[in-house]
Structure 1
Amino acid sequence: MIVMDSKAQLTVDIIAKVVEGKISIANATKLLNKSRRSIERYIKRYQEVGIQFVVHGNCGKSPPNKTPISIKKAVQALIKDKYFDLNLLHLAEQLAENEHIVVKRETLRGWAHDIHHVKRAKRRRSHVRKRRERMAAPGLMMQMDGSPHRWFGNKKHCLIAMIDDATSEVYAEFFPSETTVGCLKVMRDCLEKKGVFKTLYVDRAGIYGGPKRCNFSQMQRACEELGIEIIFANSPQGKGRVERAFETFQDRLVPELRLNNINDIAAANAYLKHVFIPQFWQSKVQVKSKQAPEFTPLSKHINLDDICVIKDHRKIRNDHTFSYGNKFYLIDSPLKHSIANQKIEIRNTSKKGFTAHFAGRKLKISEVNEPSKLASEDLAVQKKLEVLALIEKLGSVSAASRQSGVSRDTIHRHLRMVKRGGPDALKRQETPNIRHKNCVDMEIEKAVIEFSLEHPHLGQQKVAHKLTEALGIDVSPNGVRSMWLRNDMNTTALRIERSLALHESS
């Protein structure tokens, strides 16, 4: 049986009439929109095999370049189990590199659509924005930003990146959060490798000297010392180069970190700097510049250790001491003239502590160890002893009571305590086993605790109501709450944990 569509049926009818002599070949070429040679070939085939000439010779046959079904199923299994968070281009690269399976992108797209595992593109922005051309030369503009994300593991970390607007050359590193220390470190990495750039394009965050920190930004101060101009973007799209870089990092780097079982910052930074950026970014994303680089080499007089640090200022007291970090320090450097009431510069480095500088000169300092203050308990004992000493001075308990404002009963009790155990007896004695007179009986508290562990999801209102109805224990909801607090089970999670531990031990 031959199944034909309307076009094939028309071809058969016309060729049959040509053979019968009812239609000329010239008219058949016009009706079928075919060449005369094709019509003659159709006639010859019709005379040989009949109406089967209309069926193409490859009909029902598999293409010679068709991919085997086994490879298709293997790739779909890998997409489901291993490469579920990769886009199609990244997926094709990983299959070729790791699995040695080469599949064309559109074929891969069809296989992924069949199992509904296509990574969707992000929603496109609706506003039309004018495209800005890249800078002509490297070093004219660097864009910088941080991206908090679950890059690896279950906790969020921040990727701080700096990218050249002309070539997309990137400098990046992971940190626990977006901090000034991290931004200074990434910028220093760029300065050491390339030199001083002209401008830094950033958002209006306080780290870079935005409105909230315009007078005390360490990044702004470091850029001013290096002669770098900071430009603030009015929108995220303004610094789109670094924003799109973060999209690429999140799209490609996150799956690669997962596939390599990387769960800590040190390993993630090593993979980022030694594998991802050299192998992918520099070969696929980074472009060549139109002009020569505009980086300025670092001068011999510039020491990045003195610039890329956290700097504070302190005022010198008249005795040449200053306070920093809740401690006092004395200046030991020999000075020809007094620098009292002058400001010194504190350079804080996380690894080496801090150093003090005045007029570009490093000062020798030493910590001042002051006698520690008495604890509140020692002060209370000292006051009691002063009252007892006042009795010996005045020779009368009543006179000492009137002058000190302490009752005579209290003074007599203190005298007895000193007579029995000396001045140490005046210290407050801890009595953890003695319950307050207003506390409920231990039996009632034990019953409340046992009932709460049996029903850990009930609140204090329902526990008090159930105990009153079932066991006849008259206890208020606030009383139940107090018992929970004493036994460290005041939340549902704590009660469930205690209940599970009790069942496991039994």
Structure 2
Amino acid sequence: MMLLTMTDIEIYKINTIKNVIDKRISGVDAAALLNLSPRQVYRLTKQYLKHGAEGLISHKRGQPSNHHHSYKFKQHVLDLVQIHYQDFGPTLAHEKLTELHAISVGVETLRQWMITDGLWLPHAKRKPQVYQPRYRRDCVGELIQIDGSHHDWFEGRSDKCCLIVYIDDATSQIMSLRFTNAETTLDYMAITREYIMQYGKPTAFYSDKHSVFRVNSRDAKTAKITQFGRALKDLNIELLCANSSQAKGRVERANKTLQDRLIKEMRLEGIDNIEDANVWLPKFIADFNRRFAKPPLYAKNMHRSVTEQPYELEDIFSWQEHRKLSNSLTLQYDKVLYMIESTEENNRLTRETVKVLDYPDGTIAIHYGHRTLKYQIFDKLQKVNQGQVVDNKRLGAVLKLAQTEQRILEMEDKRSRSKKAPKRSAQKRAIAQLRAINPVLVNPDEFKPSSSRR
């Protein structure tokens, strides 16, 4: 007795043909069930009566395809991969074979050849990576894990946003929570400043390799430190970047818990926007820590007191960039020309490097060493009227040039701020709230009182 291998479709076809032979259904009905013509059903019936079930099985099974590549061609391709592209994946190897060797072969065909020849191991057959568990830190404040969780926190009642989480490694205690529109440097700086003012300076922060914490560009010409990393360095706080999500599993598991409990708690409280949520979060943090925080191994608190003065913290948590002064004591930052006040002391600073401090509220300071330099602003993106050109002798040439540049930029639709400048989503939100209360508070300099009497 011969063993036949059939698919589910072929078994269904045999049962249908049997029903036709036993006159349980007509050939027309069988044709409709099998999506075939009645003549084809009658042919299959004759094949079954003559050869049995074997007559309904495709004879092409197990035979090479009519479009298959020859063994010689297959061996030639594998030899090229073995010599030149041994550590390449199938997709990249296919690209190079096509571009450099003019060999046309399908990606999936090449993948199967490489698997058979042992040049590629499918992901499903690879051994899972082992992550060794580690013990908690011994003391509170020794290691603080930080992360941002992007999620639909308000369940469609408001736009999707990011929850920034600070959690202590020793106790799993949530130290700080803050909703923001995005995971930006200035948001992390603001939360970190609130953190150190409340608890003190921890030994280290533990984060992922987000661009806020680490310069990920391999060909970066600048120092391998971000603005947030520079701020922590000024505060003598270590910043460690994890190589995997599992390494900072404490905060990752907390994010998963928060995406369940926090969402439901806010639903019960009727909270549907970032502002109300941030006001309510301290109450949630206290309840969460009461339920889930663990006692530390040692009672010592590793947080250090903040010795910096408030004005020093303002400078530390600002966006800082260096610029070189021109011979005319000018510099450019975010498409704005800054003109240093011309004094006997400042005139010696030509071609010297100064530090530009961009504060979260949008104000700018320029420092040379410990000195703060006074300046005037010329904004390239603002309109220039001809009266300024005539009245201001010092700026005459600059303003004429700016007028020409503005016309060109307007025609090319390129009048926008630098993409490298810090993002201030929180500041925009605060200004919008201020404008709703009283528009005069947003731009007090533009307010003109009425001279009419009633």
Counterpart CA distance in 2 for 1:318 and 1:351 is 30
CA positional deviation for 1:335: 4.9
Aligned AA (1:136): D
Q: How does 1:55-204 map to 2 (within 5 A)?
A: 129-152=131-154, 153-169=157-173, 170-204=175-209
Aligned AA (1:342): E
Give the structure with the higher percent helix. 1
Counterpart CA distance in 2 for 1:199 and 1:210 is 18
Q: 1:338 to 1:269 in 2, by over 3 A?
A: same
Counterpart CA distance in 1 for 2:349 and 2:187 is 34
Contact 1:162/1:186 (8 A) holds in 2? no
Q: How does 1:328-367 map to 2 (within 5 A)?
A: 328-332=337-341, 334-336=343-345, 338-367=348-377
Counterpart CA distance in 2 for 1:145 and 1:155 is 20
CA positional deviation for 1:218: 0.6
Counterpart CA distance in 1 for 2:352 and 2:268 is 57
Counterpart CA distance in 2 for 1:127 and 1:276 is 36
Q: What CA deviation, in whole Å up to 9, does each residue of 1:134-189 have, x standing for no partner?
A: 11111211111111101113521011111111122321101001111111112112
Contact 1:168/1:285 (8 A) holds in 2? yes
The DSSP-based 3-state class of the residue aligned with 1:207 is coil
Is 1:313 matched up with 2:315? no
Counterpart CA distance in 2 for 1:328 and 1:350 is 20
The DSSP-based 3-state class of the residue aligned with 1:211 is coil
Counterpart CA distance in 2 for 1:159 and 1:151 is 8
Q: 1:189 to 1:335 in 2, by over 3 A?
A: farther
Q: What CA deviation, in whole Å up to 9, does each residue of 1:320-352 have, x standing for no partner?
A: 111122221211274526111111111112314
Structure 1's consecutive aligned runs of 4 or more residues displaced over 6 angstroms after TM superposition are none
CA positional deviation for 1:268: 1.1
> Out of 403, 412, 415, which is 1:373 matched to?
403
Q: Which residue pairs with 1:45 in the alignment?
A: none
Aligned AA (2:201): V
Counterpart CA distance in 2 for 1:331 and 1:238 is 49
Aligned AA (1:363): L
CA positional deviation for 1:215: 2.6
Q: TM-score, normalised by structure 2?
A: 0.52
Counterpart CA distance in 2 for 1:298 and 1:334 is 37
Counterpart CA distance in 1 for 2:143 and 2:270 is 36
The DSSP-based 3-state class of the residue aligned with 1:304 is helix
Counterpart CA distance in 1 for 2:317 and 2:260 is 32
Counterpart CA distance in 2 for 1:219 and 1:365 is 27
Aligned AA (1:295): H
Counterpart CA distance in 2 for 1:338 and 1:217 is 31
Counterpart CA distance in 2 for 1:367 and 1:131 is 56
Aligned AA (1:373): Q
Q: Which residue pairs with 2:266 in the alignment?
A: 257
Q: Which residue pairs with 1:15 in the alignment?
A: none
Contact 2:148/2:165 (8 A) holds in 1? yes
Determine which structure has greater relative contact order: mean sequence separation of CA pairs < 8 Å that are 6+ residues apart, divided by chain length: 2
Aligned AA (1:215): K
Q: Which residue pairs with 1:211 in the alignment?
A: 216
Q: 1:219 to 1:364 in 2, by over 3 A?
A: same
Counterpart CA distance in 1 for 2:266 and 2:343 is 55
Q: 1:300 to 1:226 in 2, by over 3 A?
A: closer
Q: 1:239 to 1:334 in 2, by over 3 A?
A: same
Counterpart CA distance in 2 for 1:333 and 1:282 is 57
Q: Which residue pairs with 1:390 in the alignment?
A: none
Aligned AA (2:151): H
The DSSP-based 3-state class of the residue aligned with 1:196 is coil
Q: Which residue pairs with 1:277 in the alignment?
A: 285
Q: What CA deviation, in whole Å up to 9, does each residue of 1:423-478 have, x standing for no partner?
A: xxxxxxxxxxxxxxxxxxxxxxxxxxxxxxxxxxxxxxxxxxxxxxxxxxxxxxxx
Contact 2:167/2:251 (8 A) holds in 1? yes
Q: 1:284 to 1:322 in 2, by over 3 A?
A: same
Contact 2:367/2:373 (8 A) holds in 1? yes
CA positional deviation for 1:211: 2.3
Worse-superposed segment, 220-229 or 363-372? 363-372
The DSSP-based 3-state class of the residue aligned with 2:228 is helix
Q: How does 1:447-466 map to 2 (within 5 A)?
A: none
Counterpart CA distance in 2 for 1:208 and 1:341 is 31
CA positional deviation for 1:207: 0.8
**What is the percentage of aligned positions where both structures have the same residue?**
31
Contact 1:316/1:340 (8 A) holds in 2? yes
Counterpart CA distance in 1 for 2:246 and 2:353 is 42
The DSSP-based 3-state class of the residue aligned with 1:299 is coil
Q: How does 1:420-439 map to 2 (within 5 A)?
A: none
Q: What CA deviation, in whole Å up to 9, does each residue of 1:235-290 have, x standing for no partner?
A: 101001111111111010111212222221101111212x2112x22211223222
Task: From the CA coordinates, give the structure whose radius of gyration is larger.
Answer: 1
Q: What CA deviation, in whole Å up to 9, does each residue of 1:377-424 have, x standing for no partner?
A: 9xxxxxxxxxxxxxxxxxxxxxxxxxxxxxxxxxxxxxxxxxxxxxxx
Counterpart CA distance in 1 for 2:372 and 2:152 is 42
Q: 1:135 to 1:335 in 2, by over 3 A?
A: farther
Aligned AA (2:261): R
Q: 1:347 to 1:210 in 2, by over 3 A?
A: same
Q: 1:292 to 1:354 in 2, by over 3 A?
A: same
Contact 2:158/2:273 (8 A) holds in 1? no
Q: TM-score, normalised by structure 1?
A: 0.47
The DSSP-based 3-state class of the residue aligned with 2:364 is strand
Q: 1:244 to 1:318 in 2, by over 3 A?
A: same
Counterpart CA distance in 2 for 1:232 and 1:294 is 20
The DSSP-based 3-state class of the residue aligned with 2:349 is coil
Q: Which residue pairs with 2:386 in the alignment?
A: none
Counterpart CA distance in 1 for 2:280 and 2:323 is 41
